[in-house]
């Protein structure tokens, strides 16, 4: 079986694994700390993981998927849209109704959310601008790596704003 875009597939799958980790850690901490309001964050990271896993499958297995490729790609795009909506909603909810224990934690959490947005915009600029650093590490791959940092920033902000350090 021929893998069509191996690096893009691997960076997509790494992004999916990272998002599942963030979702799990937030879920576990929320349970330990008495049900913090992080449900939107958990859903956002799960749907982002789905988008990345579907994207990795579409990029990596385009030829083997044959006629089913279009269905996998539609799932990818729909998941990206849903993920974006959920991340925005989670961020807005955390910024407007934080559970941070003090003003310093609230301020730091908001800084992390802003960093997450800035890094995500940088990642999108790389993707749209088709910035590639190597023929085997294209704009999609670079986008995924930068977006991992952006999602970490969002995760960190959520953790601080919901008193889950």
pLDDT digits (tens, 9 = 90+) for 75-123: 999 999 999 999 999 999 999 998 888 999 999 999 999 999 999 999 9
pLDDT in tens, 9-56: 999 999 999 999 999 999 999 988 876 789 999 999 999 999 999 999
Mean pLDDT for 112-138 is 95
Nearest CA to 36 among 124, 110, 100, 86? 100
Higher pLDDT, 131 or 11: 11
What integer pLDDT is reported at residue 32 of this predicted model?
A: 87
Please give the model's pTM, rounded to 2 decimal places. Answer: 0.94
Nearest CA to 61 among 22, 114, 124, 8? 8
Q: How far is residue 148's CA from residue 162's CA, in Å, rounded to a whole number?
A: 21
Tokens of 162: 């919901």
Is residue 159 pLDDT above 70, yes or no? yes
Tokens of 64: 């083997």
What are φ and ψ of residue 137, in 5° steps? Answer: -145, 80
């Amino acid at each position: 079986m021929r893998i069509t875009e191996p690096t893009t597939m691997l960076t997509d799958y790494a992004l999916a694994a990272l998002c599942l980790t963030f979702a799990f850690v937030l879920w576990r901490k929320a349970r330990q700390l008495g049900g913090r309001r992080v449900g939107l964050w958990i859903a956002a990271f799960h749907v982002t993981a789905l988008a990345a896993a579907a994207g990795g499958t579409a990029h990596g297995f385009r030829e083997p998927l044959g006629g089913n490729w279009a269905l996998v790609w539609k799932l990818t795009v729909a998941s990206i849209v849903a993920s974006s909506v959920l991340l925005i909603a989670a961020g807005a909810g955390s910024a407007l109704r934080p559970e941070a224990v003090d003003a310093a934690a609230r301020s730091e959490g908001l800084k992390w959310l802003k960093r997450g947005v800035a890094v995500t915009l940088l990642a999108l600029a790389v993707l749209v601008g088709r910035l590639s650093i190597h023929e085997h590490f294209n704009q999609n791959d670079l986008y995924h790596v930068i977006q991992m940092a952006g999602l970490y920033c969002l995760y960190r902000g959520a953790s601080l704003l919901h008193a889950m350090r």
